A and B are shown apart, each in its own frame.
Chain A
């Protein structure tokens, strides 16, 4: 089944401010030029899993 685009954005700097990943699975972030230009990119991404899954106590 084809992948679904979750988010798309354009700009010289793209900020992802807490994009919710609503399903378990594999995601691919694709960064490309908006115009016929070539260059490099910098940056970093953080994926924060919900605390209720990674750290919990059951009584």
Chain B
């Protein structure tokens, strides 16, 4: 297995061994990793590769801190995370205290169209009834 700098970070296999297991390998760098598979001792044939990746919690879950409380206003509270292509972001953010209304904006990695968002607005603010003359 090679890291994004093309440096070999793990290798496994031996003559006569049909099952090569890389387990608990921690990727130190973010980026594209490469797994290279080859026969040993001049042998060739088919193979089956099973890959499982466990992301760190910081890349799958963001809990907004309450101790101490996360303050908003006049400044924003910013939450930065890394995401893979094709990931989905879900969650709920609620205002407390004197906040009348929140604004959420998600910045992406590049200044290119990133698609139509799917979000639902809930607000306790109600429009006043129209005046009757």
User: Which residues of A pack against B, CB within 8 Å?
Assistant: 1-50, 52-59
| Distance in angstroms between the alpha carbons of A48 and B124 in the assembled complex | 29
Q: Does B127 contact A (CB under 8 A)?
A: no
Known: A27-B81, A38-B98, A42-B64. A9 touches B86 (CB 8 A): no
B83 & A24 in contact (Cβ 8 Å cutoff): yes
Q: For this complex, into which size category does the number of interface residues on chain B fall?
A: 35 or more
Nearest residue (CB) in B for A50 is: B86
* Interchain pairs with CB closer than 8 A, number: 334
Q: Which residues of B contact A39 (CB under 8 A)?
A: 71-73, 95-99
Kindly list 17 other residue pairs between chains A and B, CB separation below 8 angstroms, not including A7-B117, A12-B125. Answer: A8-B103, A10-B102, A12-B123, A18-B88, A21-B88, A24-B83, A26-B80, A27-B83, A31-B76, A32-B103, A33-B73, A33-B102, A38-B73, A38-B97, A39-B96, A39-B99, A43-B93
